[in-house]
Amino acid sequence: MSKTSEIIELPTAAANDKPDYFVEKDGIVFAGTHLIVDLWGASNLNNPTFIEKTLHECIEVAGATLLHFHIHAFEPNGLSGVAVLAESHISFHSWPDQGYMALDIFMCGNATPHKCIPILKKAFKPNSVQINDLKRGVIG
């Protein structure tokens, strides 16, 4: 069975406002897809340059638009960061000593956050990946 999605233009409160763009997929109208991703047994979790490059690749492949990127390093190890997107965000927190990285990947419109998963697997080489797939802003 083929899954298709399209952008739905919803009415706004004021006539001059830009419309909101929601997705319709499999008969459900919603704001976007929010992936909660846990990488276990992963590598390169304390390398901000590597992580930023990897997430830039995720953003490009997913068809999203980067607005701002920031990473904060903790002592002695660990990083937290966020990529603010026109379509929402990707945030992450890494615990290199435990080989663990937590990511939130939330995208709306035509962006496809699921396309990030193969890139994350290839880059960080986790032993295990756990994904929770949430639809945000479901209408009806």
Q: Which residues are catalytic, by number?
A: 88, 93, 108
CB contact at 8 A, 63 and 110: yes
CB contact at 8 A, 107 and 32: yes
CB contact at 8 A, 69 and 55: yes
Burial of 31 (0-12, 13-18, 19+ CB in 10 A): buried
Q: How far is 25 from 41, CA to CA, in rounded Å?
A: 33
